């Protein structure tokens, strides 16, 4: 979790862009970047794009991982963590 807390929001967005299970939803202005799950359009993830900002809350990082369905193995294979 500590490695993920140190990742910037720009890095989270870039990793979601690379993940083929997620696509960007239509941009509506503002700083929010919204992703939709390819196989379930009702599942969305919204990240407010402040590129240098990180997630300080461990609980928020855990909730994001659960929502996005990333495991430690997928994060390592994507080279998002070591």
Residue-wise pLDDT for 13-52, tens only, equals 999 999 999 999 988 788 899 999 999 989 999 999 999 9
Which helix (H) or strand (E) segment is 72 a member of? helix 72-77
Count of Cβ atoms closer than 10 Å to residue 19 Cβ: 18
pLDDT given for residue 28 in this prediction: 78
Nearest to 45 by CA among 30, 29, 66: 66
User: Contact 14/28 with Cβ under 8 angstroms?
Assistant: no
């Amino acid at each position: 979790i500590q490695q993920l807390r140190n990742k910037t929001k720009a890095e989270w967005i870039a990793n979601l862009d690379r993940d083929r299970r997620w696509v960007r939803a239509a941009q509506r202005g503002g700083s929010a970047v919204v992703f939709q799950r390819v196989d379930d359009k009702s599942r969305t993830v919204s990240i407010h794009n402040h590129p240098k900002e990180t997630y300080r809350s461990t609980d928020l990082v855990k909730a994001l991982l659960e929502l996005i369905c990333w495991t430690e193995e997928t994060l390592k294979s994507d080279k998002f963590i070591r």
